[in-house]
Each structure stands twice: as structure tokens, then as C-alpha cells.
Amino acid sequence: MNKWILFFALVFFSTLHSQQLNCTVTVNTEKLAATNQMVFKTLQTSLTDFVNKTDWTGKALKQSEKINCSMYITVSANSSDDFIATIQVQSSRPIYNSSYSSPVLNFNDKDFSFRYTQFQNLIFNPNGFESNLVSVVSFYAYVILGLDADSFEPNSGTENLVIAQNIANNAQQGGYKGWSQADGFQNRYFLINDLLSPTFSVIRTTISDYHTGLDLMTKDLKGSKEKVKASLIDLNKLYAAKPNAFLTRVFFDAKSDEIVSIFSGGPSITITDLLDSLNRTSPLNSSKWSTIKY
């Protein structure tokens, strides 16, 4: 009997400490007319538990090691159990030996519709399609995990990104928008396929080199800025092959404000070439680049 008690205690302890995400989930209904809010409160609680309590990788992490992220769902319409929404997904990772967290992902998915009944169980099945709600949230959980791993070591997030691609492939059978290349050029299909494509590999290398540079900031601020600069100029390689690539926009949606901050203070370095590169690779942010003070 004592052996069994010990066994179940170990299983409980392992489960308790095996989650990988520290995610804030918000369900916003401001765009809806007066409606029963209880279903949305239940949805928010269920999604919070689902994302934070699912063991996505089987790797036990301490609370301080979990990835800080958020999923902000804005519901624009609903009829019975059918919902039309958008989901803004953000994640960040800590910078070595500092209290600062650097944004890694900031993506707004406008093709998010799903069915949900109050108190419905949310269960992730990696080998099949259960519901679009579960598939979309699980997909982004693995994208967050993959990009976070990449930010510490080049291409170390591939395993998680492949699972996200699997989810995307399985979800196509559900018929919901955002999973197919026929649904546009800036959706989940292209996000995950481009991340895993050799054509766009420089994006993932840049993510790694950029954050490695930031990790040096408390030791060598000038050297850190040079490394971050070099990682950004590297994106010219992608621009030469694929001008205005979707992934380039995804990268700068997360990083543009931080880049302005990094190069507007501290020890000065030559950034004329950097500004030329930024204006070439991310012209949509040219107004921000013009504010960089040096």
C-alpha cells in the first residue's frame, strides 16, 4: 500500500511541475451586444487551465522557467455555440542576468472561429482534429515553445514547430479558415510552413543571434549592440530572396519598438548601415526607424 501511495504521489508531483507555459488568457466581449457573460467567463477559465496545465513537451520546468505568454481573444459575434473572433498571441523570454523580458512573438490571427458549449472539456489530441478552438490554441502553444527554444539555441525549436505543423495539417479537415494556403498569404498555414522552410531559415537564425546579443548586455553593452545589429542586417539575405516576406513582418511586429529602444541609447555604434537595412527589410516601420536617436 505504501508503495502505491508513493507512486501516485510521484505521478502527482511530476504532473504538477511538468507544464511549460505561464499564459494569461483573456476573452473580450466588448464588441458584442448585451449577452450572457457566464459562458465567456467559463471559456476564459477553461482556456487558462487548458494552456497552463497541459504538458506540451514532457519536460519539467520550475515556475521561473516557464514561458510567459498571453492569448487575447476578442469575440466579435456569436450565435448559439458558434463564435467568430480574433486571437492576439504574444510571448517573451527573460534576458540573462537582468529583470528585462524581450518580446519574441506578437501575432494577430483574424481567422479564428470556433464552436464551444459551456463546460465543454478541452482535450488536446496530437494525432487528430477535435475542435478548432483546441487546435488553434494548441497550435500557438507549440509555436510559442518553438520560437522560445530558437531564441536560446539556433533551430532548437524544430521539434515543437513540427508538432504545430502537424496540428495545422490535421485541422484542415475541420474546414475552418486559416489552415489552408487558399485562405490568404498571412495565416497559420504560411506561418508554420515558412518557419520550417529552408528558404526562410535566416529568420530563425536571426532570432537566435538577436537574443544571444541581448543576453550579453549586462556584460558588454557595446558588443551586445553590435551583435544585435549584425543579426538584423542578416535579414537582407531573406529580403534578397523574398522581398516583403510574411515572416519578416511577423518578426518586426514583435521587435520594432525594442529595436528603436536598443539603438536610441547607451554607447554609440555606427548604425547608418543598420538603418538602411531596416528601411529596406521593414519599410512599414520606417516612421519608427526615423525616431532612432544616435
In whole angstroms, give the CA distance from residue 36 to residue 29. 10
pLDDT for the residue numbered 17: 41
Cα distance between residue 35 and residue 53, in whole Å: 29
Integer Cα distance of 60 and 157 in angstroms: 17
Name every residue whose Cβ is closer than 8 Å to that of residue 70 and which is 6 or more positions away in sequence: 23, 24, 25, 26, 88, 89, 90, 91
List the grid coordinates of 87: 486571437
| The three cell numbers locating residue 95 | 534576458
Identify the DSSP state of 117: -
Q: Three-state DSSP class for 94?
A: strand
User: Which residues are CB-neighbours of 41 under 8 A, at least 6 positions away?
Assistant: 27
pLDDT at 15 over 50: no
For residue 229, name the pLDDT band (cuts at 50, 70, 90). very high
pLDDT band at 18 (very low <50, low <70, confident <90, very high): low
Write out pLDDT tens, residues 140-150.
999 999 999 99
| pTM for this predicted structure | 0.92
Over the stretch 21-61, which tens digit does the pLDDT of each residue have? 999 999 999 999 877 789 999 999 999 999 999 999 998 87
**What is the pairing mode between strands 82-94 and 67-79?**
antiparallel
List the Cα angle 241/245/251 in 5-degree steps: 120
Exposure on the CB side of residue 179, measured as CA atoms within 13 A? 24
Task: Give 260-272 pLDDT, tens digit per residue.
Answer: 999 998 899 999 9
Strands of 119-176, DSSP E = none
pLDDT band at 3 (very low <50, low <70, confident <90, very high): very low
The end-to-end CA distance of the chain, in Å, is 70
Q: What percent of the chain has pLDDT over 70?
A: 93
User: Which phi and psi angles does 37 have, rounded to 5°?
Assistant: -80, -15
DSSP structure class, residue 183: G
Nearest Cα neighbor of 178 from 211, 215, 131, 132 is 132
**Tens-place pLDDT, residues 198-211:** 999 999 999 999 99
Furthest-apart CA pair in the chain: how many Å? 72
Average pLDDT across the chain, whole number: 92
Residue that wins the pLDDT comparison between 5 and 288: 288
d(CA 213, CA 228): 5
> Residue 75 forms beta bridges with which residues?
85
Q: Is pLDDT above 90 for 99? A: yes
Q: Among 61-65, 124-128, 134-138, 281-285, whose mean pLDDT is lowest?
A: 61-65
What is the rounded CA–CA span in Å between residue 263 and residue 293? Answer: 7
